[in-house]
Amino acid sequence: MNPGLTFATAGRVLRQVRTDHRTIALIIVVPCVLLGLLAWIYTGTPVFDRIGPALLGVFPMVVMFIVTSVATLRERQSGTLERLLTTPMGKGDFMIGYAVGFGLLAVVQAVVATGFAVWVCDLDVAGPLWLLVVVAVADAVLGTALGLLASGFARTEFQAVQFMPAFILPQFLLCGLLIPRELLPPLLEWISNLLPLSYAVDAMKEITRNTDPFSAVAGDLGIVLGFIVGALALASLTLSRRSA
C-alpha cells in the first residue's frame, strides 16, 4: 500500500466521472427525486419519518455498487487493470483508490440528499445531521467494496448489472425498510442480522430518533466497516496479476 498510488487512483476515478455529466446528475438528483416522491405519497402520515432515514442509507450503497461494478468490469475488459498490475500499483492501492474516489462523490450525494430530505421533505431528525452524512458515506464505501467484489464474478456488462438485484435487493427487503427487523419471522431476522445494509439502516434510524445516538451508531458503523474490510479482502483475491 502506497498513499501516493492510492490517491493517484482516486483522482483518476474522479476525473473519469467528471467527463460524464449525466452520471453525476443521476447520482445527485435521483435520490432527491425518490425521496421527494415518497414524502409526497405518504403526505399526512408518519410513514415517511420511518422509512426516510432508511432510504438515506440505501441510496449511496446501491448507486456506488452499480457504478463500481461496471467501472471495474470495464477496467478488466479494456486491459487497463492488467496493465496497472504490471506497475508498482498494488491491488490495495487500486481498490482503496476506488473507495476513496467514490467515497468523496458520496459526500456530495449525501449532503444534497440529506439536505433535501430535511429541509424540503420535512424529515424529522433528532440527532446531528452531520452524522447522517458520515453514515451515508460509510454506506457508499460499502457499496463500492461490494461492487469491487461482485465485478470479480461478472464476465459481461449484463451480468454486472444483474448483480444489483442479486446482491442488493435481498438486503433491501430485509434491512427494516418494509417492516422493522424485530418483527420479521425469526429465520429472516437472523438472516437480516448477517447483512451489512441492516446495520447501515439501523444507524440512520438511531440518528433520526435519538438526540444522543453516538454509542449506538458507533456500534453499527463498526460492523459496516468490518463488512467493508471483508469485502475488499475477498475482492483482492479476484484481482490476479496472472491470467490464462
Partner 1 sequence: MMNNYDGPAVVISGLQVVRGHRDVIPGLHLEVPAGEVVGLLGPSGSGKSTLMRCIVGVQVVKAGTVTVLGHPAGSAALRREVGYVTQTPSVYDDLTVRENIAYFARAVGLRGTGLRDAVDRTLVEVDLVDFAGQLVRDLSGGQESRVSLAAALVGRPTLLVLDEPTVGLDPVLRRDLWELFARLAEQGHSLVVSSHVMDEATRCDRLVLLREGEVLADLTPDELLVRTGAVDADAAFLALIDAEAASHRSAS
What residues make contact with partner 1 under the rule CB under 8 A?
Answer: 4-5, 8, 12, 15-16, 19-20, 78-80, 82-89, 241-244
Whichever of 210 and 238 has its CB closer to partner 1, that residue is 238
> 23 or 210: whose CB is closer to partner 1?
23
What is the residue type of 2?
A: N
Distances (CA, A) of 1 to 16, 88, 90, 95: 23, 10, 6, 10
The least CB distance from residue 122 to partner 1, in Å, is 39
Least Cβ distance, residue 226 to partner 1 (angstroms): 29
The answer to whether 136 and 114 are in contact (CB under 8 A) is yes
DSSP structure string for 89-129: --HHHHHHHHHHHHHHHHHHHHHHHHHIIIIIS-----S-H
* CB nearer partner 1, residue 15 or residue 229: 15
Identity of the residue, 15 or 37, whose beta carbon is nearer to partner 1 in the bound complex: 15
Nearer to partner 1, 151 or 198 (CB): 151
Cβ nearer to partner 1, comparing 16 with 193: 16
- Least separation in angstroms between CB 92 and partner 1: 13
Q: What is the DSSP letter of 178?
A: S
Closest distance of CB 85 from partner 1, Å: 7
* Nearest-angstrom CA–CA distance, 205 and 95: 30
- Smallest separation (angstroms) from partner 1 to the CB of 217: 37
Give me the least distance between CB of 67 and partner 1, in Å please.
Answer: 13
Residue 55 or 84: the one with the smaller Cβ distance to partner 1 is: 84
The residues, any chain, with a CB within 8 Å of residue 218's CB and separated by 6 or more, are none
Query: How near is the Cβ of 26 to partner 1 at its closest, in Å?
Result: 16
| CA-to-CA dists, residue 216 to 11, 199, 211, 229, angstroms | 34, 10, 12, 20
Beta-strand runs (E) in 5-100:
none
Angle CA 100–77–89, to nearest 5: 45
